[in-house]
Amino acid sequence: MTDPETLDVTIVDGYVDEPAHFGVPPYISTYPRYAAGALVDAGVPREQITYHTIDELRDDNAVWRDVEAADLMVYVGGMTVPGKYVGGTPAEPDEVRELAWTANGTSIMGGPVRFGVGEANEGASETARDDLDFDFLAMADVEAAVFDLVESGLEGFNDRYRDIEEETRWARSGAFVVEQHPNHPEYLICEMETSRGCPYRCSFCTEPMYGNPDFRPPESVVDEVDALSDRGVKHFRLGRQADILAYGGDGEAPNPDALRRLYGGIREVAPDLETLHLDNMNPITVVKWPEKAREGIRIIAEHNTPGDTAAFGLESADPNVMSDNNLNVTADQCFEAVKIVNEVAGWRPGGEKGTAPNFGDNAARRLPKLLPGINLVHGLKGETRETFEHNKRFLQRVYDEGLMLRRVNIRQVMAFEGTDMADTGAEIARDHKQLFKQYKQEVRETIDNPMLQRVAPPGTVLPDVHLEYHQDGKTFGRQLGTYPLLVGIPGERELGSVVDIAVTDHGYRSVTGVPYPLDLNSASMNELTAIPGIGRSTAGDVVVNRPYESVADIDVASIERFATTQSGEGAD
């Protein structure tokens, strides 16, 4: 019998991306935190638990020694929706196998990887269950498996799901592991679970495999936020749920009182938090219970931070695809839900709530508090060329009606065992791949770009942009939050630093900006020419005639939205 107090344990985070759970940096998912808490609860000393991300292993061969030497190696990961990532790269199957081969001790893997593994993490693909040469594969909760495995002396476990009491304990006792994340503390956002499971059964989705919704009490979530806040975390996202509006209710109808206790409690224990965002909101909930939904959305917008996004799973605006795949909302219903969120939460800090959605020349210069985002999935049963037209018409209608979407997420289906799509597979998606690429580009040009200009017009201020990488003479960074805008800044600035940005121009899903406020007496030519209305000739005149006492000395419309003047001493 192995004594838990003697165990050295290494947790490797290969990152997760599920319909209602995200864990690619700068996010950290619940899985490694809860696994660490389960280990402590089972008797493993905290100082003998090591956490690494898969990117750390890629960057430093010496880190592999922790995998090799561990008595128990725990791998968490798995992608059940495909995506493109900036902050980290999810583990590929061959990398995960190498972990198993390297580990000399007992190895166990878990998380959404249990639903299946493809040849690569990408859309238009089928998956199959595969233990990737690990000793154990947790087919239910990996944290429960880890607890039971340690309790058994590393002999084995029965697959099971943890209960609320265990989750509450493990969430608090595992909070310490965030301090070992390479992004801690400044550039790390914790994914928070409020519930899992879903009452609906869309053909492609893995979330119903968790069963019907199972809600954590507000006190449990708030206690976890409290523990993470004590460990230096200031960024949180309530992303681990199928529908935030249904929180604390019967699984379908909104419960504003539960949302008030949840959000109010979080603000009470973490008054200095810097990000409080959410992810999923079911549009059918908004239209079936509009008054309760409005109250719930109002509560969220009162407590969250700007730039929040409620992801709407429309999936397809084609009525035939909707019926063939058991989708739960029509295009008309989704449009109505988009309108309601815009009216209740599409106001900007400093703007008028009663006139939402706020945009245009007179709108306040921050991102709206909460906007809907639209998820569209292609390759579903019944999809034809007309499906793409249905989707484009829906998006155009939203724009033409003067509403705002924070983003449009377009992807191709991944087919997993246990879902209805397993029979269809990815054949339709592969057949439509070229059509999909053309359509996606058209949406980016005709919807994403003009919508982004509406959501974040020139002069919009984005505080606390974290600078991540250099490319083509620019520095790129993002705020922390749900679906943050990618920001390109002229020049190569110090990576890892944090700057406030004023938006100057727009791409399809990104913006260009300059540091805010930009000092006219020290700004570079590239920074000056990024400001609307300043070409190279005017920028040259600005440089030659420095220093300035006031921005009013520059004859450029609305320049005060971007620039200031500091002391002219020492200015070139």
pLDDT number for residue 337: 98
The pLDDT tens digits for 431-456 are 888 998 999 999 999 999 999 999 99
At residue 45 the predicted structure's pLDDT band, cuts being 50, 70 and 90, is very high
Which CATH number do you get for residue 531? 2.40.50.140
Retrieve residue 389's tokens. Answer: 């037209």
Instruction: Supply the pTM of this predicted model.
Output: 0.92
* Last-in-domain residue among 428, 455, 482: 455
In a domain, 407, yes or no: yes
348 lies in the same domain as 487: no
In a domain, 186, yes or no: no
Sign of CA dihedral 503, 505, 509, 515: negative
Residue 430 reports pLDDT greater than 90: no
At residue 227 the predicted structure's pLDDT band, cuts being 50, 70 and 90, is very high
Quote the number of domains for the chain. Answer: 2
In a domain, 528, yes or no: yes
386 lies in the same domain as 372: yes
User: Which residues are within 8 A (CB) of 529 and not within 5 positions of it... i.e. 6 or more apart?
Assistant: 490, 535, 536, 539
Sign of CA dihedral 514, 515, 520, 525: negative
In a domain, 438, yes or no: yes
Question: What residue spans of 382-510 are helical by DSSP H?
Answer: 385-400, 421-424, 427-431, 433-443, 449-455
Which CATH number do you get for residue 426? 3.30.750.200
The pLDDT tens digits for 525-562 are 999 999 998 989 999 988 998 998 888 888 888 888 99
> What is the Cα–Cα distance from 500 to 460, expressed in whole angstroms?
11
The pLDDT tens digits for 453-510 are 999 999 999 999 999 999 999 999 999 999 999 999 999 999 999 999 999 999 998 9
401 lies in the same domain as 501: no
Q: Outline where DSSP puts E strands in 274-433.
A: 275-278, 308-315, 370-378, 408-412, 414-415
The amino acid at 192:
M
DSSP secondary structure string for all residues of 205-257: -SGGGG-S-EEPPHHHHHHHHHHHHHTT--EEEEEESS-GGGTTTTSSS--HH
* Last-in-domain residue among 421, 455, 489: 455
330 lies in the same domain as 351: yes
In a domain, 403, yes or no: yes
pLDDT number for residue 84: 75
At residue 130 the predicted structure's pLDDT band, cuts being 50, 70 and 90, is low
| 73, 105 Cβ separation under 8 angstroms | yes
C-alpha angle 81-85-387 in degrees, rounded to nearest 5: 45
> What is the Cα–Cα distance from 84 to 141, expressed in whole angstroms?
26
Q: 390 lies in which domain range?
A: 306-455
A 10 A CB-CB count for 321 gives 23
| 314, 281 Cβ separation under 8 angstroms | no
C-alpha angle 558-562-563 in degrees, rounded to nearest 5: 100
In a domain, 498, yes or no: yes
Residue 202 reports pLDDT greater than 80: no
446 lies in the same domain as 485: no
pLDDT number for residue 125: 41
Q: Outline where DSSP puts E strands in 80-222.
A: 106-110, 125-126, 136-137, 189-193, 195-196, 214-215
The pLDDT tens digits for 360-405 are 888 999 999 999 999 999 888 898 999 999 999 999 999 999 999 9
436 lies in the same domain as 510: no
- Judged on CB neighbours under 10 Å (0-12, 13-18, 19+), 257 is middle
User: Which residues are within 8 A (CB) of 271 and not within 5 positions of it... i.e. 6 or more apart?
Assistant: none
* Last-in-domain residue among 405, 421, 455: 455
pLDDT number for residue 87: 84
439 lies in the same domain as 492: no
310 lies in the same domain as 451: yes
441 lies in the same domain as 488: no
Question: Is the bond preceding 457 in cis, omega lying within 30 degrees of 0?
Answer: no
Question: What residue spans of 74-156 are helical by DSSP H?
Answer: 93-102, 142-151
In a domain, 209, yes or no: no
In a domain, 545, yes or no: yes
The pLDDT tens digits for 306-351 are 999 999 999 999 999 999 888 889 999 999 999 999 999 999 999 8
- Judged on CB neighbours under 10 Å (0-12, 13-18, 19+), 246 is buried
Residue 127 reports pLDDT greater than 60: no
Retrieve residue 214's tokens. Answer: 């199972």
The residue length of the chain stands at 572
At residue 272 the predicted structure's pLDDT band, cuts being 50, 70 and 90, is very high
450 lies in the same domain as 314: yes
529 lies in the same domain as 439: no
489 lies in the same domain as 450: no
